[in-house]
Structure formats: C-alpha cells, structure tokens
Chain A
Amino acid sequence: MSPVTAGVLQLLALIAALALAYRPLGDYMARVYSSKKHYKPEKWIYKAIGANPDAEMRWPAYLRGILAFSAVSVLFLYGLQRAQGVLPGSLGFVAIDPDQAFNTAASFVANTNWQSYYGEQAMGHVVQTGGLAVQNFLSAAVGMAVAVALVRGFARSRTGELGNFWSDLVRGTVRILLPISVIGAVVLVACGVIQNFSGIHEVGQFTGGSQQWNGGAVASQEVIKELGTNGGGYFNANSAHPFENPTPFSNLFEIFLILLIPFTMTRTFGRMVGNLRQGYAILATMGIIWIAFTGLMMWTEFAHHGPALDAAGGAMEGKETRFGIAGSSVFAVATTLTSTGAVNSFHSSYTGFGGGITMLGMQLGEIAPGGVGSGLYGMLIMAIIAVFIAGLMVGRTPEYLGKKIGTREIKLAACYILITPALVLCFTAAAMALPTPGNSMTNSGAHGFSEILYAYTSGANNNGSAFAGLNADTQWFNSTIGIAMLLGRFLPMVFVLALAGSLAEQKPVPETAGTLRTDKPLYAGLLVGTILIITGLTYFPALALGPLAEGLAS
C-alpha cells in the first residue's frame, strides 16, 4: 500500500470514529448543560465555592465570574512556578524566572499552552501535574461555558439570563472532561505512554553507560492536553516524544481526542437551539475546511518541494518514522485548525506551503472545528457575519436562528473578528521593527519572518504551537506573547457574552418566505466563502512575505 493511500485511510478512519461519537456525545453534552439535577459531589464543590448553582446570571455577572476565576488562576500558577524551588516533588528544579512564569501562567490559563521553557528540564511534578495539567481542564471548561452561554443566548428570548458560570464550569469539568480523560489516559498507557511519579533516574544502555529518564504523570496530562485542545507537552518534543505518543494508533487516537469535542459541540448546539439541522450546517462548514486543509497538507508534504527536502528525497526532517508524512500532516492540520498546538512533528521544517497551511489554519480564527467551546462560538460569530453579508445583498434585516442581527449585534461581531488580527499584525510589525527581537530567529530570510509571524499568530489565537527555531525565552517575547495570549482569549469572550446577552433579550422573529435558510448547503457554502475571504484579505500581505515567498521560491 502506498503511503498516500494509507494516509487517506487514516483520515477516513478518523472521520468514521468521529461520526460514531457525534450523536451520543453531542446529545450528552446538551443534557449536561440543560439538566436541573446536581450530583452529590457537585453539591460539595458548590458548597466549598459558596455559590448557588441555580442562580441565573446576566452577561455581566457571567463575565465577571470568568474574569475573577481566570485572574486567580493566573496568579496561582505564577506563584506555583515562582515557588518551585521550595516545593516538594520538584525534581530539584529551581524557581522559574518572573517573565517566563508570567508567560507560562498566561499561556495555560488562556488555553494556549505556548511554552518558552523545556518541560523535562524546568518543571517538576507539582507544577506539571498540580498546576499546568489542572489548567488544561479548567481553561477548556471555561471555553465550553462561554460557548454554551452564547447558545443559550440564541435559544432563550425575552430574558437576559445566560445560565450560571460556576455550574457550567464544574459540570464541564466533572461530567465531560474528567470521565473521557480517565478512559483516554488508560488507553494511552496501554500504548506505552508513561504514568509514574519517579524522579530523574539512570537507565542502562546497549553500548554501556546510561541515559537519564524523567518520570511523570504523562498519560493523565497527555489526554487532557488533546481533549481540551490545550497542547502543552510534558516534554519539549511534545507529542513527537515517544513517551507522549508511542505508536501509530496512539497518534490517531490523540488526533481523535483533539477533534472530538469541537466537532460534537455542533450537535450540542443544534440540540439546545431545538433545530439539529442548524448544527449540521455548522458541522458541514467545519468539516469542509478541515478535510480540504488536510488534503492540501498531504499534497505539499508528499511533493516535498524545498531545497533541503529535495536533497533528502522526502519531507522527513522533524518527523518521526512511526508516523511518517501522512500521520504527521493529519496531526499538523488538526492541531492548528483547533486551538491545540500540540505537535507530533515540527512545523518549522515543513515545506514552505505546509508551514503556510498551519499558519492559515490558526488565522482563520481556529473555527474548523476550533478549540473546545471557542471553536463553536468563533464559528457562530462568522455565521452572523455571513447572514449579515447575505442580508446586505438582498436588502433585508439579517436574522439568524430567529434573532435579528441589528446594529449592536453586528458591532460586537465585528469587534470579535478584528481583535486577533490586530494583535497578530501589530505585535509582528513591532517585533520586526525593533532591533533585538530578530536575534531570536534560527532561520534567515522569509522563514525568519515566518517564525515571528507564527509566534504571534499562535499566541493571539491561543494555539500554542511554534516555528520552534525562534528562541522565545526572552523578556520581549515572554511579555508580548503573554499579553497577546490574554487579550486574544478574554477580549473575544467579552464580545461573545455581550452578544449572547443582547440576543437573549430579544423576542424571536417569525420565519418568513424571505428568511435566509441557514440550514441549507447554500448557506454552508456562503459561510466557507465568508471565512476564507475575510481572513484571506486580512492576512494575505503578511503570508505573502513569509510562507508564500518561501513556498514559491522552491
């Protein structure tokens, strides 16, 4: 069997597995967020928090809950890293420097997991397992809560109430993320992912001498790293490290975990707004972009145009033998079209166009299928933009799911789609204009520019992957990427929740013959076009200087 055929079969297997999980998990998540019943352990948690889980919140209260919780999380994670030197279970690692500790704390709370440190050389058990892995759960649960609040905004009318943040946070964590993680972690251990609390120890080698191994709770962190679209590796090599991703099966399983919640949340959305076909239209849009990107990536990587790749006879630089080109390409697209940023191969050594595809995936706003929660709310914002454009064409007030898209709504949606490109392009321009940031580049020419464009694209979109030749552990990059991650995560949430509040207050408008049908293939096509044109026009000049220049030259 040719590697291309095997790659296509792996993609089909992935689609089949996702299709099987789609209905049960999507419906289950809808029940989790709609149910009135609290389980006993959840009641204990609410009691400890001191919150009434049945109190409905309007959007400012919901937002305040998110911001307070996230601010406390950043401070706690920062303090944990700064105190590492005196904490037990730190494997002898010292405190993290202030700029790097800020960057890492912002990164994990913002669901980005950009890493300017080397995991195996910097972080002990307490910080990894008790700090970083915890935020893998909680930042994901926050993203899902915001998405659910927006869906409630569409589903409810004549009320400003969006649900209860504490209840959504706790339910997302204990009813959705934890059970899947326990099962997934055991599957990963069965493949060979390590799970222990050993210290750094010596293991004998074949030709004598020994190698040093770090122990760690790797499987339990690996599974939520993928499932919560986080992406922060236990080891520096992330999912390319054999202890994080040992076999071709574990590779496909991890890709499945990355895509699982973002795709199935479209079912949850359809279920909660009472029209499954609306969910299918969103799903189709996400699916078309994901499959097209994966196809393009496989094509450019198998063709391996690029001087050094031509000389080597294949694009295997930075890729593992067990995954090959197909297994690496499918992973690379899944990780950059979601907010994951885990890598099983190093994007910097991809072909020029291949690197460009990973960047464009993030620049689309990570909505196909996107991060857990953030993918759905990002896509719904684009859906609003698409009905607005269609409304302009025919001269009618646009509506979506029975809600009028008026001035206030479209202003909030426009703010949402402007904030990340503004962060990416301004910070990239500043880094290129200043004298010192450029010293961090490993590669020169177009690819050097790409390293910096990639860094801010990844930070502001909360992805976390990198063209990792860039030495990002400088005060400039630690600070600016840290700020980009926080603003890129929480400002859009402000606009989404404000939008959700204003939608929930409206009364539904009845559907007429003139209403644009948003559950039809025509609309899915319009949505794909809107996404590509808006993002394409925003980023085309920057992409032309980086990956397009590199790709066209080879």
Chain B
Amino acid sequence: MNNSVGNTARLIGAGLRALLVLTVVCGILYPLAVTGIAQALFNDKANGSEIKDTNGQVVGSSLIGQTYHLPKQNPDDPEEAAKPDLKWFQPRPSNGLGSNSVNTQYALILSGATNRSADNGAVNGLCFKDAEEGTLCAQVINARETVIADNSTASHTVWPEDVPADAVTSSGSGLDPNISPEYAKLQVHRVAERNKLDIEQVEKLVADHSTGRTLGFMGEPRVNVLELNIALKALSKS
C-alpha cells in the first residue's frame, strides 16, 4: 500500500517536472523565437498590417473590416442606430458578435458570426417579408431592401437579382475586410453620385482594386473595402 502511494507520488512528480520543462520549451522559448523572427523579417505584418491614408495617418488594418458610418447625432446615446455614410463603399452586414455594440465605430473587441441556421425565421420552409425580427430570414430580406434602396439612383435602378449573396449575409468573423467585385460594382453609381465623380472613374477604381484568385484558383475574387475607400478619398480630393 505504502509502496503504491509512493510510486504514485513519484509518477506525479515526474509528470509535473515534464510539464514544467516542456512549458519552458513550447510556451516560452518557441513563441519568443517565432516572435523574434517575425518581427525581424515581417515587422509590418506581424503587427497587424496597418494601413495609412494619403496623409500618412494610420486608418486601420488592410485585413480587418470597418464600418463607414455617419457621426452620431448624439454620441452618448447608446440606443441611436448607426447610419451608413453612403459616400463610401459599404462592407458586408455584420449581425453577429463582430458587429460593434459599443459606439458608432467598429471596435475590434469581439469577433464572431450570427450562427443563425439556414431555416432561422422561416415559415413553411420559406422566408417572408414579415419574418420575425432578428432572425436570419429578416436580416437577409431587410439587407436586400436596404441595398436596393441605397444603391438605386435617379439614372440607375438596382434589381433584386443584381444583389450578390455577400451583400446580404454576415461573415464568419464579422470583420470581413472584403466584398465581392459584384457588390462593389453595384455600389459604383451611388458612390459616383455622392462624390460627384464620373461613373467611369469609379468603375476604373473598382477594377484597379479588385483582386483575382491567388494563382488563378485559390480563394475567391474580392475587393478590399478600406483600400478602395482610401483611393476614393484621394480621387475625390484631386
């Protein structure tokens, strides 16, 4: 009996020592070594790929999505809904945790998806206009109506079938920095009108900032919204 207690204690002691030594190797030496290499070779990327506007001011990360909202009427009112500033290209909806609940800005305090199911809010297997508020059906249908209303101008009508899926759905992180080229093109008429620019100029801007698939087959074509808006700001100033 005593012998077996002693054996167990010895074994636990060995386990603890093994854990501590391997913690030093994998939890201290390894991350410090990787941080050293990363900071030396890829300083910019290791620190979050910060991006500057034409004035040299840091305006975020090229990897992290932002919202482009109008300033709040009353900054202290948490109830006031943020309104998009339609001068700028708009990102994907963000109805999950990644959406900002703290102020009018997009604070990176929490990332996450809506986790709503494909039949969330559906009645008899269909999404209807009067779907229960907050359900995925309601989010998608409302987002589509908003996209159509915001992007139709006097000379240009947006039809429901023109609206791509990424324009009405929330991403996995809620911080998606990209939109599809289709969604960017759909916003061209509105953006040109609000910034008093030629449609061709803005179309060219979108084309210049569209990225294809990596090596032709990896991922999906996309447009980085922040980079596009920085270029747009420069264009509308000149």
A residues with a Cβ closer than 8 A to B are 1, 3, 5-6, 9-10, 13, 45, 48-51, 64-65, 68-73, 76, 118, 120-121, 129-131, 133-134, 137-138, 166, 169-170, 173-174, 178, 181-182, 185-186, 189-198, 203-215, 217, 219-221, 235-237, 240-243, 246-249, 251-252, 305-324, 326-328, 343-346, 348-352, 355, 442-443, 445-447, 450, 467-469, 550, 553-554
Q: Does B15 contact A (CB under 8 A)?
A: yes
State A346–B172 Cα separation when bound (angstroms). Answer: 6
The 6 closest A-B pairs by CB, nearest first: A248-B219, A306-B118, A314-B165, A240-B172, A324-B220, A307-B122
Q: Could you tell me if A469 and B26 are in contact, using CB atoms closer than 8 angstroms?
A: no
CB neighbours of A469 from chain B (8 A):
115-117
Q: Could you tell me if B27 and A308 are in contact, using CB atoms closer than 8 angstroms?
A: no
CB neighbours of B122 from chain A (8 A):
307-308, 554
Beyond A130-B27, A173-B22, A312-B165, whether A320 also contacts B172 by CB under 8 A is yes
CB neighbours of B1 from chain A (8 A):
none
Pick the contact of A69 from B18, B57, B120, B177 — CB < 8 Å?
B18
Q: Could you tell me if A50 and B17 are in contact, using CB atoms closer than 8 angstroms?
A: yes
State A305–B46 Cα separation when bound (angstroms). Answer: 40
A320 → chain B closest CB, angstroms: 5
Interface residues of B in 57-106 (CB under 8 A from A): 57-61, 63-69, 71, 85, 88, 92, 96-98, 103-106
Q: Does B2 contact A (CB under 8 A)?
A: no
Q: Could you tell me if B34 and A121 are in contact, using CB atoms closer than 8 angstroms?
A: no
Q: Could you tell me if B126 and A211 are in contact, using CB atoms closer than 8 angstroms?
A: no
B64 → chain A closest CB, angstroms: 6
Beyond A68-B12, A206-B229, A352-B119, whether A120 also contacts B109 by CB under 8 A is yes
Q: Could you tell me if B47 and A206 are in contact, using CB atoms closer than 8 angstroms?
A: no
Q: Which residue, B41, B57, B127, has most C-beta atoms of chain A within 10 A?
A: B127
State A243–B46 Cα separation when bound (angstroms). Answer: 9
CB neighbours of A309 from chain B (8 A):
118
State A316–B93 Cα separation when bound (angstroms). Answer: 11
State A320–B115 Cα separation when bound (angstroms). Answer: 14
State A207–B225 Cα separation when bound (angstroms). Answer: 13
State A246–B59 Cα separation when bound (angstroms). Answer: 18
Q: Could you tell me if A322 and B178 are in contact, using CB atoms closer than 8 angstroms?
A: yes
State A130–B177 Cα separation when bound (angstroms). Answer: 31
Q: Across the two chains, which residue of chain B brings its CB closest to A307?
A: B122
CB neighbours of A318 from chain B (8 A):
96, 113-115, 169-172
Q: Could you tell me if A550 and B119 are in contact, using CB atoms closer than 8 angstroms?
A: yes
Q: Which residue, B28, B176, B230, has most C-beta atoms of chain A within 10 A?
A: B176
State A160–B40 Cα separation when bound (angstroms). Answer: 51
Q: Could you tell me if A72 and B166 are in contact, using CB atoms closer than 8 angstroms?
A: no
Q: Could you tell me if B106 and A205 are in contact, using CB atoms closer than 8 angstroms?
A: yes
Q: Does B163 contact A (CB under 8 A)?
A: yes
Q: Could you tell me if A468 and B165 are in contact, using CB atoms closer than 8 angstroms?
A: no
State A247–B62 Cα separation when bound (angstroms). Answer: 11
State A215–B61 Cα separation when bound (angstroms). Answer: 13
State A3–B164 Cα separation when bound (angstroms). Answer: 14
Can you give 13 contacting A-B residue pairs, CB < 8 Å? A6-B218, A65-B14, A134-B27, A209-B103, A237-B172, A242-B173, A242-B177, A307-B126, A308-B122, A343-B172, A348-B113, A349-B114, A349-B116
Beyond A71-B15, A129-B27, whether A211 also contacts B172 by CB under 8 A is no
Interface residues of B in 34-55 (CB under 8 A from A): 34-35, 37-39, 41-42, 45-50, 53
Beyond A208-B71, A327-B220, whether A321 also contacts B28 by CB under 8 A is no
Pick the contact of A3 from B120, B136, B220 — CB < 8 Å?
B220
CB neighbours of B16 from chain A (8 A):
72, 76
Q: Could you tell me if A72 and B220 are in contact, using CB atoms closer than 8 angstroms?
A: no
- Stretch from B151-159, B186-194, B197-205, B209-217 at the A interface: B209-217
Q: Could you tell me if A120 and B110 are in contact, using CB atoms closer than 8 angstroms?
A: yes
Beyond A118-B110, A130-B27, whether A237 also contacts B169 by CB under 8 A is no
CB neighbours of B216 from chain A (8 A):
1
B41 → chain A closest CB, angstroms: 7
Q: Across the two chains, which residue of chain B brings its CB closest to A120?
A: B110
State A174–B22 Cα separation when bound (angstroms). Answer: 9
Q: Does B107 contact A (CB under 8 A)?
A: yes
Pick the contact of A311 from B12, B127, B214 — CB < 8 Å?
B127
Q: Does B206 contact A (CB under 8 A)?
A: no
Q: Could you tell me if A320 and B140 are in contact, using CB atoms closer than 8 angstroms?
A: no
State A241–B177 Cα separation when bound (angstroms). Answer: 10
CB neighbours of A235 from chain B (8 A):
111, 173
B184 → chain A closest CB, angstroms: 11
Q: Could you tell me if A242 and B175 are in contact, using CB atoms closer than 8 angstroms?
A: yes
Pick the contact of A327 from B66, B113, B170, B219 — CB < 8 Å?
B219
